[in-house]
Structure 1
């Protein structure tokens, strides 16, 4: 795609077939980072090769890891060991990836090197103070520009100190940042969270040989990492991304007569809130061949077109589906009745102000909705909304894909601007969807 490209999605018939969703983005990032910190060679199978993950690969290589992809699509990471990263010669460009930036800040925070980091226009607007503050408590120096934003400098602590840190907000990225800083810190570093967030970091650290303890206390869920282990290279089979899978899932649900099979989808209980919610709305979603791969629960999904009904989605579910509210809002536009979503404040500091972008997009497509500071109410009448809107995506891949899905079943085509943002997480999205019967051009 060329820069500033647009895509249009026209109403289509039923979607049929098997759809191989790209690898999980969160796990792909971590496999590269942890492989770079391990001793030996880690092989990564099924890694997402989107722009965000490739930015992580480039950054870890700049920090001294040897990384290459073979002709079979397997990635090989020869690690440096805990504490073994070297100072990069140039600024690290994290592209659009907040996960890359925040997790890498944690790793760098306990390495005695100085690193400069930047990102694209979207990432440079997103707050980094939430990770800079606990890193400062551990002895790192983080200097950001105004508003605690990128570009920034991390000067890692020569003698990092373990901390006990209670998260002020539910954030897997902040939790992971602190745990990764604790890797090269003597003693035990503990993160306390009152709301459960995704636990890919904890699961994969164990997979590489770290000691991670999780206990429930009066304060909340306490995750402790024992510092300065020797991580040992371990192969990683990356499951298909449940967040990316939500787009073809909703597309199948809202297009009459559709039936899709999505093999190998990650079903981590801290990531599957969208599927629980869709089932509550009446979605016909079946899990088959449930299994565990590299510590992660995985299943094949079978999705059939369904009549959906509006529901109230509890705020406490938000951490398990925070990235999926844009596509849930599209599903809600086709449902019968009112869908109420609470606890969405975190959406305002994603790749865009996603809450505002979703509300504006829905209104542009003739959908009645109400946006609050941390809630969204969508009113559907059980039939296809008008569509016909032109959507400003703010270079946000999830906004772009959500409204392309809307266009597949709305009365009129929907156009999304700056659609190249999709390549950050789901390269080939339009081609794959068209192969199932969609009309994206």
Structure 2
């Protein structure tokens, strides 16, 4: 179910030091894939640490609609009894993916090579987002999509009855598109190849191997060639979901900009295709330490410790965008407190996320007294060396990361920052408010005017 109903404004007032150790929810990207691949497996897959935000719960409901059994045993503990590759049944009703672009695009890939028709919808934000970026590549397998103008939801996807293997060269870096093509290739005889000119999140490749699929990754000049052997019998496994680096970014960044703070976040995924923000923060002078580095479930993890830091602006190269695409909103909030300007290059993908995140952050930061320059593909934040006025009410635009980013900014601004609707935060980080409060943040409903 997507966020609906009356808006839930929330204000972040300047706080004292943020201190403590906090447990972050499970990684959203891994959680989506665990449910989907579990549903395509013969047997029972056990998952621990699953993110129980609305986005992931909607993916679980979609797997049930396609014939899998999905059962919750306790907090973060789930079992998926799958139907096997090619075993999906035609859903009896519309599949509602709520706010999740990842969920809907990956599910479309999973069903695109099965002879069934599935109808997809979502909340107002998801219905405004382009789906052609995944339905057009999937048409190479023979799948057909019929939707609103510009390929928007609601949309009917008619799976291919006799799909053949595909070689697809991606023109834009996108882990969602790559993953959709690989999931579609599971039910296709022969070798499906996806060629990416720039490395993107590799959770799907890692997890496919864990379930027993044959996946070969070949490094080529400027990118990678991923080869998947189709029609495997996936084997059930036990998946321990690491903590989400995108969610960890919010308490980490709040600590870096709030004087006197020291925050520890254990068990965070440091998959190199997801760690671009942490590289960037260190370049800005962040006191950010990785402790107890190890590998769990095929994913590198560590305990992160962040302390308040005097930061300086940097230029973030375009080739880093894929590894931190969801973290640019909170990075732009941090950049407002740095000395000098932070230039973010190659970020046009932000225009087609849950909101136009470049426009949303630029308008909100300007309302808080920060100068921002933008082009179609760049955003530049002129830092105020820790002296951010704040004092504004900004629009979240049904976007969880916009809402959380401005609440982080409010923790260290001179006066409180209010987001007009904090409800969408539940899609990815349902415990965000109490977690931040436990560290010492001041988050409250604003007084009625």
Same fold at TM > 0.5: yes
Task: Encode CA deviations 1:228-268: one digit per residue, 9 max, x unaligned.
Answer: 00110111100110001111011000111111110000000
Asked if the contact 2:51–2:76 (Cα under 8 Å) also holds between the matched residues in 1, the reply is: no
Output one character per residue of 1:204-235: Cα deviation in whole Å (capped at 9) or x when no partner: 00011101111022473101110000110111
Partner of 1:135: 138
> d(CA) in 2 for partners of 1:216 and 1:27?
23
* Secondary structure of residue in 2 paired with 1:336: coil
Corresponding residue SS for 2:124: coil
Identify the residue that residue 206 of structure 1 maps to in structure 2.
209
- Counterpart residue number, 2:417: 414
Secondary structure of the 1:387 match is: coil
Q: CA deviation at 1:368?
A: 1.1
TM-score between both structures, scaled by the size of structure 2: 0.97
After superposition, the Cα gap between the structure-2 partners of 1:97 and 1:316, relative to the gap in structure 1 and judged at 3 Å, is: same
Residue 348 of structure 1 is matched in structure 2 by: 351
| Kept in 2: contact 1:192–1:219 (CA 8 A) | no
What SS does the aligned partner of 1:404 have? Answer: helix
Cα distance in 2 for residues equivalent to 1:332 and 1:136: 41
Q: Is this contact kept in 1: 2:132–2:152, CA < 8 A?
A: yes
Q: Which residue of 1 is the match for residue 285 of structure 2?
A: 282
Match of 1:147 among 147, 150, 157: 150
1:260 equivalenced with 2:263 (yes/no)? yes
Q: Which residue of 2 aligns with 1:334?
A: 337
Q: Which residue of 1 aligns with 2:32?
A: 29
SS across alignment from 1:329: helix
What's the offset of the Cα at 1:131?
Answer: 1.0
Structure 1 CA distance, aligned partners of 2:250 and 2:64? 32
Matched residue, 1:435: 438
How much does 1:372 deviate? 1.2
The separation in 2 between residues aligned to 1:71 and 1:292, in whole angstroms, is: 25
Structure 2: state its 5+ residue gaps.
445-449
Q: Among 231, 234, 255, which residue is 1:231 paired with?
A: 234
**Which residue matches 1:402?**
405
Are 1:186 and 2:219 matched, yes or no? Answer: no
Task: Tell me which residue corresponds to 1:80.
Answer: 83
Write the deviation string for residues 394-423 of structure 1: whole angstroms up to 9, x where unpaired: 110000000000000000000001210000
Contact 2:198 2:222 in 1 (8 A): no
The 3-state SS of whatever aligns with 1:240 is coil
User: Aligned pair 1:90/2:93, yes or no?
Assistant: yes
Stretches of structure 1 lacking an aligned partner (at least 5 in a row): none
Instruction: Kindly provide the CA deviation profile for residues 122-150 of structure 1, in whole angstroms up to 9, marking residues without a partner as x.
Output: 00111111111121111111112111111
1:123 aligns with 2:117: no
TM-superposed CA distance for 1:384, in Å, is 2.5
Indicate conservation of the 8 Å contact 2:329/2:357, yes or no: yes
Runs of 4+ in 1 over 2 A off after TM superposition: 217-220
Q: Does the 8 A contact of 2:257 with 2:386 survive in 1?
A: no
**2:447 equivalent in structure 1:** none
The question of 1:9 aligning with 2:12 is answered yes
Equivalents in 2 of 1:242, 1:219: separation in Å?
A: 26
Instruction: Kindly indicate whether the alpha-carbon contact (under 8 Å) linking 1:95 and 1:119 is maintained by their aligned counterparts in 2.
Output: yes
RMSD: 1.0
**In structure 1, C-alpha distance between the alignment counterparts of 2:133 and 2:355, rounded to whole Å:** 17
Structure 2 CA distance for aligned equivalents of residues 435 and 391 of structure 1 = 24
Change (3 A) 1:439 1:147: same
CA offsets per residue over residues 9-35 of structure 1, 9 Å max, x none?
000010010010100000000000000
Looking at structure 2, the residues matched to 17 and 93 of structure 1 have their Cα atoms a distance apart, in angstroms, of 38
Whether 1:426 and 2:429 are equivalent positions in the alignment is yes
Structure 2 residue matching 1:303: 3-state secondary structure: strand
Deviation, structure 1 residue 161: 1.1
What pairs with 1:243-392 in structure 2 (closer than 5 Å)? 243-392=246-395
Tell me, what secondary structure is at the counterpart of 2:42?
coil
Take 1:384 and 1:36, find their aligned partners in 2: how far apart are those partners?
50
Q: Match of 2:163?
A: 160
Q: C-alpha distance in 2, partners of 1:333/1:401?
A: 15
